[in-house]
Amino acid sequence: MLDQRVTLFEEKFDRVEASLARFERAVSEIALTNAKQADLHNVEIRVTELSLTGARQADLVKLQLDVAEMKGRISGLDARIAALPTTWTLHGVVFTTWALGSGILIFAMNFLKR
């Protein structure tokens, strides 16, 4: 008799555990859905805040013009940087000057010997 009661209790407890597991999944899904809805609501609030009025639209146009001007300056800057001599160019000029100077000096010494 006691064994039957324990078996019956275990069966009912297993059903309660299964119901709780389903309930827990449902609560998790509801929580995720509410979180997503809250995020969507926050995005909607931000979009309505950012709806452009006349002053904000003028600020946006000014910002776009500033960005375009900066892009123009940056494009000119990279051309200037590309025009600067590199280290190898400077070394080449120095060594070439030394070589020409040495050649002229050797030529002059040989010419004056005669």
Over its length of 114 residues, how does the chain's per-residue pLDDT go in tens digits? 777 877 877 787 787 787 777 777 777 776 667 666 666 666 666 666 666 555 567 777 787 888 888 777 777 777 777 778 888 888 999 999 999 999 999 999 998 886
pLDDT of residue 43: 66
pLDDT of residue 45: 66
CA distance 98 to 105: 10
CA distance 77 to 97: 30
Token pair in block for residue 37 = 């809805």
- Is 94 within 8 Å of 86 (Cβ atoms)? no
The pTM (predicted TM-score) of the whole model is: 0.32
